[in-house]
Chain A
């Protein structure tokens, strides 16, 4: 590892980040005209947990398949440890992979499944047994070594698939929606387990999912895919608090969108006028300029809700349409006088919980919680 690090430093990579995988202007088209991925450029740092997140058809899986070697890019280059790999067949890439439906070989026992990559590499029998057992211990599946995969539950099969992907000690592991077929409880348990495994082994993980909470739970960084390109690549917190595009704001977490026009921008704060001449302050994102139509985005839990006439800093008045009790919090749907529907989340310790459908209310928020995007 250390040696490799110093090696790659002699390349043109910046010294502080150690890049293991680099996508350079990669495109993928089918039948000449169907564009799956266009101009993808992405650096994956050694040891990080990177999630490719996006709706289906956004190109995240195709990117992963190109990295694994099951798809070839139509243009651009992919580097692994500084070496271009577009022409390297999948079996020579030494990349571990976990598939959505596990892809455990049904005619082999759990132990044989794990031994497969080691046998292929012609390791000695003793070493194979040792490594298989160690990998099985890591996922607590030692007791099931002699079982056939069909006799295991979904969660157990996924554990074995994980063990098989790490048993030959690859430095990069790809996971293609590995928890998609499991129920919610199990999925959450395994999310933590995969995260721990990642920390323990120090490997680089590239994880594909369409489940945003999964991505937020596990990732060091998340790349949000949309329409074949990356909308934003950032830490989970930054994606939520400082989305750079309207798509990201809407994709990660719940979001309210209010349309308005930019009348002034100063010190990164934009003043926007919405219907009824109400003006709102919001953080301006790149590319926003005076006179433009814009979308103001605000998170439901950042809005404070008061009964009408009790708030001094009210920005909008509205009437409550629905009130939903969700245990730890309430959700209110409010409609402004101009017809904009807003979602408001209130922890059940907050004020304003007594409001009922039909009641008038006042909504307030801090300017820095509000973000304006180009419409």
Chain B
């Protein structure tokens, strides 16, 4: 009897000790990832705080302005350093980058800088640099532009991150909100999370019953259902999205069908708005919800529900008290996956969403490809990445990391 109370040996999954073989086997991938993923990623992310456009073009000024206390106008040495740098500049491309960077700090700086450089290079005078500059443009006697120059020459800058939250440092050094008409990122972040959240919820509501059906249906039907869920995986994202435009447009399949049935008299606006975005994103992301839930459900012995019934619980009660809690790891993994993927969407919202349905990735792409403001793109990217890691960490704590990455 007493021997029975001694626990039998637990049987944890045997994991190989860290030996050379697995290290060597994974080495090529590690090298590949380091060279082509981690290193570029780190470099890109560093752009979010890097600030060397101005110092590389205006080296003397950068050194001189570092001695300025920021009060009033800078000393003469700073004026002459700027004049020296601008006069000796012969790389208009680099100057353009510095000008764009400064424009980001104080609008209008671009024109000011180019004008000043052109005038300085055109005429050599012996007057003091301070007078010379203020003669070219009166704005050089405004401390605002010198403060902007001061901010833009610091090695590291918080400006991009502040901008990602619609904040900036004003001329007196306080962190303030940007002007109303320039506040876009906070709203976009909120919208991104809201769209991703709604899509995740819709996927869960639709996906959970499908996953259950796949688990309990006879083999053939289950295979057919799984196939129809996975089908979107095998089609290109663009093709799928375009197909939806055809299906959902004003004279598309859905509208003409509903009109013919007499359900609606006017065609519904199903595409190029939020509704269309939800329909298309849910369709694309559904497999990411269904598959993890199904894999968890597959592992739940039907004996649990039988046990629940034998103990006197109605099947409905049994579902909520026994089955649902057992599927939660799958639900968590599915929601996490769907949400994280949804957060990064930008082609689909751009194609099937309305004017106000842009998600944050759109702006990242915009800053990367269109206006070449890599600092801003990197800062937005870091914020998005942090949000994802935060969510992953929270869920990981709740559900266990090994479950999420399907090691268990």
Contact = CB atoms under 8 A, between A and B. Distances in A.
Nearest to A185: B3
Interface string B300-336: 0101101111111111011001100110000000000
B8 A189 contact: no
Interface residues of A, number: 40
A249 B51 CA distance: 93
Interface in A100-147: 101, 103-107, 116-117, 120-121, 140
B322 A105 contact: yes
Interface in A80-115: 89-97, 99, 101, 103-107
Contacts of A94: 312
B8 to A, nearest CB: 4
Of A103, A104, A193, chain B has the most CB atoms within 10 Å of the CB of A103
Contacts of B317: 120
A156 B325 CA distance: 23
A70 interface: yes
B312 to A, nearest CB: 5
Contact of A91 (B7, B315, B325): B315
Given A155-B4, A156-B5, A168-B312, A97 B304 contact: no
Contacts of B301: 101, 103
Interface string B334-345: 000000000000
Contacts, number: 87
Nearest to B324: A107
A96 B309 CA distance: 10
Nearest to A192: B1
Of A70, A159, A185, chain B has the most CB atoms within 10 Å of the CB of A70
A189 B304 contact: no
A168 B8 contact: no
Of B304, B310, B315, B325, chain A has the most CB atoms within 10 Å of the CB of B310
Given A90-B306, A97-B306, A153-B6, A107 B325 contact: yes
Contacts of B303: 99, 101, 103
Nearest to B315: A91
B306 A99 contact: yes
A105 B309 CA distance: 13
Contacts of B4: 155-156, 159, 186, 189-190
B401 to A, nearest CB: 18
A142 to B, nearest CB: 11
A229 to B, nearest CB: 25
Contacts of B321: 116
Contacts of A104: 307
A92 B315 CA distance: 11
The interface size bin for chain B is 20 to 34
Q: Which label, helix, strand, loop or mixed, suits the secondary structure of the B interface? A: helix
A152 B311 contact: no
A116 B310 contact: no
A192 to B, nearest CB: 9
A117 B310 CA distance: 9
A69 interface: yes
A107 B3 contact: no
B311 A153 contact: no
A55 interface: no
A91 B316 CA distance: 11
Given A99-B303, A103-B303, A189-B1, A116 B308 contact: yes
A283 B301 CA distance: 49
Nearest to B304: A103
A101 to B, nearest CB: 6
A227 interface: no
Nearest to B300: A106
Given A99-B303, A103-B304, A105-B322, A154 B8 contact: yes
Nearest to B303: A103
A293 interface: no
Contacts of B5: 140, 156
A44 B80 CA distance: 110
Contact of B314 (A91, A153, A164): A91
A68 interface: yes
A151 B314 CA distance: 28
Contact of B311 (A89, A117, A156, A183): A117
Contacts of B8: 153-155, 183, 186
Given A156-B7, A190-B4, A107 B309 contact: no
A116 B306 contact: no
A215 B323 CA distance: 34
Interface in A153-194: 153-156, 159, 164-165, 168, 174, 183, 185-186, 189-190, 193
13 contacts: A69-B310, A91-B314, A91-B315, A93-B310, A96-B310, A105-B304, A116-B313, A120-B317, A155-B8, A156-B5, A159-B4, A189-B1, A190-B4
- When A and B form their complex, which 8 residue pairs have the shortest distance between CB atoms, in order from nearest? A117-B311, A153-B8, A97-B310, A103-B307, A103-B303, A153-B7, A90-B309, A91-B309
Given A116-B321, A168-B311, 4 more contacts: A70-B306, A91-B310, A97-B307, A190-B4
